[in-house]
Chains A and B, each alone.
Chain A
Amino acid sequence: MSGGLSREQNGFRERVRSFVTNEISQARADELDRSDSFPHDIMQKMAQQGLTGVNVPVQYGGEGGGDLEVMILCEELSRRCPALSWTLGNVILYGNNIIGVNGSDQQRERFLPALAKGQLLFAFGLTEPDAGSDAANIDTQAECDANNQWIVNGSKTFITGGTVANYVVTFARTAPSRYKGITAFLVDTRDTGFSFSKIHKLGFRGSDTATLYYDQIPVPADMILGGPEGLNQGWGQMVRLLNGERLSLAACSLGIGQAAFDAALDHVRQLPPPAVAGSRQSVEHRLAEMAARLEAARALAYQTAWMHTNRMECVRETSMSKFFCSETAKQIAAGAMAIMGPDGCDMALAAQRRLRDVLILSIGGGTSQIQKNIVAKTLGL
C-alpha cells in the first residue's frame, strides 16, 4: 500500500515490517497471548529500533514523525501481534502524544527525551466504573491542600498499561462544571497511595489492563498536564487527542483485518482444487467482498489521516474511520474463521486470536455507537 504516503512514510512502513518479521515470531505472539504478561523484552527491542521515539520532535531526541507514522506502526504491528501496538501506545500515544500536544515546556523537556528512549511508560486514566461512554461523568476527585498540592482520590478502570506505567495521566474532578471542572494530573505510580488490580481480558493479552486506585495521592501543581495553567482544562486537552487516537485504533483494525483476510485466503488456496469447476464460487465471493471492504476501510482511514496531518477539520472523518474500520475488521475476522472451519477455532492458530483481539477496537476509545453519535452531530442532526 503506497497510495498517498510519502517515500519516507513508505520507507518507514518497510522498516517496521522487517522489524516485525525479524523480531516478533508467531510463536512469541502466541506466547504473549497465553502468558498475558507485559512484553518488556519486545519493548526494549522497539526502543533500540527508535520506534518509541517515532512521534517525538527531533529536538527531544525523537524521529519527528506524527500521527501518520503512528498509524503505520499500529497497522504493521497489528498484522502480527496487535497487543504490541497498545504496549507501544503506553509510550507513543499516552506519553509522547499527550505530553507533546498538551504538556508544558518544562514537562516536554523532562519527559520526552526519556520517553523517546523507551525509558518511561505512561497510561491514560479517564474511564471509571460509572464513566465509560459517558466519560465526563467521572468521580475521581482532586482537592488543593494548604501546601498548594493536589490530593487525588478515586479509581479508574480498563486502563491500558495500568500495571506497568510510571505515570498515569489521571483525569479528576476539580470543579463542579461537567466539562470545565476536569483536570489531568500526571500521577507518579510510585506513590504509596497508588494501587492496581489487573483485569483479565479476552484479547489484547499482554497489554496489561487494570483497575487503578488512588488513595490520598499528592500531586504538585506543576504536574498538572500543561502546568498550573492546565487546571480545569482536562476535557479540552483530552478532546485534542481524540483524532489521533481514533486513527491509531482504526489502523490497529486494518492490521488485524488484513492478517485475517490473508490467513483465510491462504487457507482456501491450500485446499485441493474443487472437484467441479466453479463450485468454490461462494467462498471466492466472500473473499472478494472482504478484500473490497478492507480496501474501502484503508482508503477512508488514510485519507482521513492526510486531512488530519494537513490540519483540516476531520472529527467526522476520524469518527467514521474508527467505527468503520473496527466493524469491518470484526466482520472479516469472524468471516475468516468461518471459512477456515476447524482451523478457525484452533487455539494453536492465530485466526481465533484475531477475533478476540479485534472486539475491543469497536469498544475502547469510544464505542461504535458513540462514534456514530459524533458523525450524526457533525451532519447537523
Chain B
Amino acid sequence: MDETLSREHKMVLDAVRYWLKKQCPRTEAMAWDESGQLPPATLESFMELDLWAMGVDEAYGGTGRDWLGAGVVVETLAEMDPVLAGIYASDVFGAAAVIAEIGNDHQKSIWLPQLAEGKLATARVKPNREVAEIIRFHPGERGWILNGSARQVANARRAQLLVVEAVSDIAPETNSFFLVSTTDKGLTITPSETLGYRSAGIGSVAFKDTFLPPEALLGKPVTGSVSTKAAARIHGFADLATAAQAVGIAQGALDYALAHARSRVQFNQPIGRFPALREKLVDLSTAIRAARLMMHAAASRANASRKFETEAAQALLMASATAEKAALDGIQILGGYGYTLEYDAQRYLRNAMQLVCSATETSALNETIGRTLGVAP
C-alpha cells in the first residue's frame, strides 16, 4: 500500500479487497487456473464492483479518467488473481484509454458509455515486434484491409471488441488503431495453451484480408496513422497496465512466501529468521516498493496530463523483473512445498513468466527510455 494514495483510492481498494476475500479466495483462484475457466457468476459479481467508470470521462458516463485509481485496482486484483486484473486492465487501459485518446466524437459516444459500465469485453491486440509479429493494413474499397497476426492475446476468446494495433503498408513506422468486432468475417481467434494466465481466454488473433468499414479506424480517417506522440501515450497506458499486474503478482508472491517463512520451522526456528532467507524477503519487499512507487508516479503524471511514457516504461522494466524474481524466490523459500501443485507459489511463477514473455517487450521499452536519455533514435 502506498501512503500517498488519497482517501478515495483507499476506499476503492478496501472494496476490491473485500470482494476478493468473499468472491475470490485462494482455493477458487487455484481451481480456475487449473480448469482454465472463470465462472460466469464470478465475472458478473466482478462487474458489479463498478470499477470501470474510473477509466472514462464524466461526459461519457464515467467518473473521470483516473489512471492511478485504475492502476491500484489492477495491482490489488493481481495479488490474488492476475487474470481478473488483466480483464479490467484490458478494458480500461487497452480500450477506454485508447478510444478517449484518439477516437472521434462518434466513436467515443458509441463505445465509452459501454466501457464505463464494464459491459464491453475487450482485448488489446499488440503484435510483438521482438518476435517479428506484425499486422499490416491498406485502404480497400470503402474501408480497410487487415493482414497479419499476433499470438497470445489476453482475453481474445472472451472479447467482443478488439483494439488492434496495425501498421500501414505505405508508412510502416507509424501506428494505427482499429476497433474490430470479434464477429467480423475474415478474423480467426485460435485458443493458445499457455503457461500462465490460464483462465484469461488467451488466443492467437489472425487477419487474412479482413475487411473493415471506414469507421473501424480510430483517429484521422485520411492517412490512418496517429501521431507519434499519441501512439507513445497509448503504449504508455499498456505499459502502466502491465506494470500494475507485475507489481501485484510480485506482492502476492512475497506475501505467500512470507507466510511460509514465518511459520515453517527448521533447525528450531522459523526459516525466515535465517539471515540468507530474510535478505531475500527484505530485497523483494524493497524492490516491490520501488516498482509500485514508480508505477504510481507514472500514473499520477498521466492523471496530470503530463508526459508519462518514459516513467511507465521504467516502471514496467522494474516491475516485470521484480515479479519474476519474487516468484522464483517464492518457490525457493517454500522449498519442496513450493514445487507442488497443491501450494500456490507455482501459480505466481507461471503468471509472472507469462507477463515477462508475452507482455514485456524489453527492446521497445529500452527505445522509449533511451529516447528520453538521448541515446535512441
Name A residues whose Cβ lies closer than 8 Å to a Cβ of B: 127, 130, 132-134, 137, 157-158, 199-203, 271-272, 282-283, 330, 334, 337-338, 340-348, 352, 355, 359-360, 362-364, 367-369, 372
Partner of A132, one of B194, B336, B340, B354: B336
Within 8 A of A (CB), among B327-349: 328, 331-332, 335-336, 338-342, 346, 349
Does B128 contact A341, Cβ atoms closer than 8 Å?
A: yes
Does A202 contact B346, Cβ atoms closer than 8 Å?
A: yes
Name B320's closest neighbour in chain A (CB-CB).
A338
Question: Given the complex, which residues of B lie within 8 Å of A360, measured CB to CB?
Answer: 336, 339
Question: Given the complex, which residues of B lie within 8 Å of A340, measured CB to CB?
Answer: 131, 357
Question: Given the complex, which residues of B lie within 8 Å of A272, measured CB to CB?
Answer: 132
Task: Tell whether B362 is near chain A: CB-to-CB under 8 Å.
Answer: yes
Name A158's closest neighbour in chain B (CB-CB).
B336
Question: Given the complex, which residues of B lie within 8 Å of A372, measured CB to CB?
Answer: 276
Does A343 contact B131, Cβ atoms closer than 8 Å?
A: yes
Question: Given the complex, which residues of A lie within 8 Å of B132, measured CB to CB?
Answer: 271-272
Does A342 contact B128, Cβ atoms closer than 8 Å?
A: yes
Q: How far is the CA of A130 from the CA of B263 in the complex (A)?
A: 12
Q: What's the dominant secondary structure at chain B's contact region?
A: helix
Q: How far is the CA of A63 from the CA of B342 in the complex (A)?
A: 41
Name B residues whose Cβ lies closer than 8 Å to a Cβ of A: 128, 130-132, 151-152, 192-196, 265-267, 271, 274, 276-277, 324, 328, 331-332, 335-336, 338-342, 346, 349, 353-354, 356-358, 360-363, 366
Does A363 contact B332, Cβ atoms closer than 8 Å?
A: yes
Name A367's closest neighbour in chain B (CB-CB).
B335
Question: Given the complex, which residues of B lie within 8 Å of A347, measured CB to CB?
Answer: 193-195
Does A342 contact B363, Cβ atoms closer than 8 Å?
A: no
Measured between C-beta atoms, what is the minimum distance from A252 to chain B in Å? 14
Name A202's closest neighbour in chain B (CB-CB).
B346
Q: How far is the CA of A348 from the CA of B152 in the complex (A)?
A: 13
- Interchain residue pairs with CB less than 8 A apart (23): A134-B266, A134-B267, A137-B267, A157-B336, A158-B336, A201-B340, A202-B331, A203-B339, A271-B131, A338-B356, A340-B131, A340-B357, A341-B358, A342-B128, A342-B192, A345-B353, A346-B152, A347-B194, A352-B353, A355-B349, A359-B331, A363-B336, A367-B332
Measured between C-beta atoms, what is the minimum distance from A59 to chain B in Å? 38
Does A132 contact B331, Cβ atoms closer than 8 Å?
A: no
Does A334 contact B341, Cβ atoms closer than 8 Å?
A: no
Question: Given the complex, which residues of B lie within 8 Å of A202, measured CB to CB?
Answer: 331, 339-341, 346, 349
Does A137 contact B266, Cβ atoms closer than 8 Å?
A: yes
Does A334 contact B324, Cβ atoms closer than 8 Å?
A: yes
Partner of B192, one of A330, A338, A346, A367: A346
Question: Given the complex, which residues of B lie within 8 Å of A338, measured CB to CB?
Answer: 356-357, 360, 362
Does A369 contact B340, Cβ atoms closer than 8 Å?
A: no
Q: How far is the CA of A342 from the CA of B125 in the complex (A)?
A: 13
Partner of B335, one of A133, A199, A343, A348: A133
Question: Given the complex, which residues of A lie within 8 Å of B276, measured CB to CB?
Answer: 369, 372
Question: Given the complex, which residues of A lie within 8 Å of B335, measured CB to CB?
Answer: 132-133, 363, 367
Name B363's closest neighbour in chain A (CB-CB).
A282
Does A337 contact B356, Cβ atoms closer than 8 Å?
A: yes
Question: Given the complex, which residues of A lie within 8 Å of B265, measured CB to CB?
Answer: 130
Does A344 contact B357, Cβ atoms closer than 8 Å?
A: yes
Measured between C-beta atoms, what is the minimum distance from A299 to chain B in Å? 25
